[in-house]
Amino acid sequence: RKKYKETENTNPNSFYGISKLRGENQIIKFCNSYLIFRVSWLYSLYKNNFLKFVLEKFINDEDIYAVNDLYSIPTSSYELARFLKNSENYTNKENLNQIYHFVGNGSPITWFDFAVQILKNYNKFKKINSKILPISSYDFFQNKIRPQFSSLDNSKFTQNFNFKIDNWKNSLNETMIKLFDI
C-alpha cells in the first residue's frame, strides 16, 4: 500500500479523526498565514504515548500486548520540536498556507514492530524479561474504529523545507539515549 499524500481525500471514521480534520478546516478558513503539520504515532519520554507506555511496562517487568495489524510510521516529538524551534529558518512565502506530513522516514510498521524496536534499544542499556505479545486491533481496541493503514508520505515536506527528517529507528535510538543520559 502507498503512503497517504496531503492531496488525497480525507475520510476520517472516528471522532478523533473528524475533530482533527475540523481543526485543520478552521485554521484554513480563519488564518491568513498558516502551516499545518500532520504527524502520526507521536512519541517522547514524557506524557501519554506508546513509547512511555512500553517503557513503564519494562520498568515494572510486565509483558506487553502490542497490536500487529495497524500500520503507520512513528514520529519523534524531539525531531518535530527541533524543526518547529527553527521553523522561521525554513519557512518562506512559497511554503506557507499548506498542509504537510511530518513523520519519520522509513517503511510503515505495526505497533508490535515498534515495541520490538523499543525493546532492542532498551536492551542495549539494561536487560529485561518483559515479553511483547502480538494482538489484533479488533481484540485490543474492542471494536473501536481505527484505520488499518495510516502511513503518511513526507515527500512534500522534504521538497519544500531544507530540513532532513531522520529515519524513525535513528530518532527512536536518540530518544532512548536521552532516557539513559548517555
Q: Give 69-118 pLDDT, tens digit per residue.
A: 999 999 999 999 999 998 888 888 888 999 999 999 999 999 999 999 99
Q: What is the pLDDT of residue 108?
A: 98
Three-class SS of 81-116:
HHHHHCHHHCCCHHHCCEEEECCCECCCEEHHHHHH
Amino acid 143: pLDDT: 66
| Residues ≥6 apart with Cβ < 8 Å to 158 | 164, 165
- Sign of the dihedral defined by the CA atoms of residues 3, 36, 156, 73, in that order: negative
Helix 111-125 / helix 168-179 crossing angle, nearest 10 deg: 40
Query: What are the Cα distances from residue 82, in Å, to 32, 49, 86?
Result: 25, 19, 7
Strand partners, 100: 37
pLDDT at 180: 84
Instruction: State the CB neighbour count (10 A cutoff) for residue 57.
Output: 21
Based on the number of CB atoms within 10 Å of its own CB, is 162 exposed (0-12), middle (13-18) or buried (19 or more)?
A: exposed
* Distant-in-sequence contacts of 47-53, Cβ < 8 A, 24+ apart: 49/77, 50/74, 50/111, 50/114, 50/115, 51/118, 51/172, 51/175
pLDDT, position 34? 94
**What is the reported pLDDT for 87?**
87
> Would the CA dihedral through 138, 140, 144, 146 be positive or negative?
negative
Q: What is the pLDDT of residue 122?
A: 94
The mean pLDDT values, 10 residues at a time, for the chain of 182 residues are 95 90 97 95 95 95 96 97 89 90 98 97 92 95 84 96 96 93 65
* Predicted TM-score (pTM) above 0.95: no
